[in-house]
Amino acid sequence: MLTGEDFSARGPAAAIDCLRALQKERGYISDETLAEAAAILQMPVAVLDEVATFYNLIFREPVGKNVILLCDSAVCWMLGREALQSRIFERLGIAPGETTADGQYTLLPVVCLGACDRAPVLLVGETLHGHLDAAGVNKLLDGAA
């Protein structure tokens, strides 16, 4: 178990580790969790909120069990990102920013995931899926990818 001293000794970068650990346990970073983390890190809540808001993988609102982060940047757009979004909508009935009624999936747009050579890409959990097309989305959602 990390202590506040551990985090403060590692500087601001430790904030992400702390938030990710809390998010893994609680699903997202509520205002209460953010305040708790700020106390652990000995940081102002507003500063930590900026970090949390900037970092794509920290969720400040409740999300589904599986979060699909669909790259929304130029290379993915040029190489078929829209087809992925359309197939996700056909299969799950959710648009960017929405969660399925059963709470299984949330679809979120994100800026470049740093894998442009594999565009179009999406991230589910911590797994990056690249060179996807609509059929690939089907396989992914069927659990076969």
Q: How many CB atoms lie within 10 A of CB 144?
A: 8
From residue 6, give the alpha-carbon distance in Å to each of 20, 31, 49, 50, 79.
Answer: 15, 23, 20, 21, 43
73 sits near ligand FES (criterion: CB under 6 A): yes
Stretch that binds ligand FES, among 23-31, 36-44, 45-53, 67-75 (CB under 6 A): 67-75
112 sits near ligand FES (criterion: CB under 6 A): yes
66-71 and 105-110: which strand pairing?
Answer: parallel
Which residue, 27 or 130, has its beta carbon nearer to ligand FES?
130
Which residue, 92 or 122, has its beta carbon nearer to ligand FES?
122
Q: Which of 41, 76, 84, 107 binds ligand FES (CB under 6 A)?
A: 76
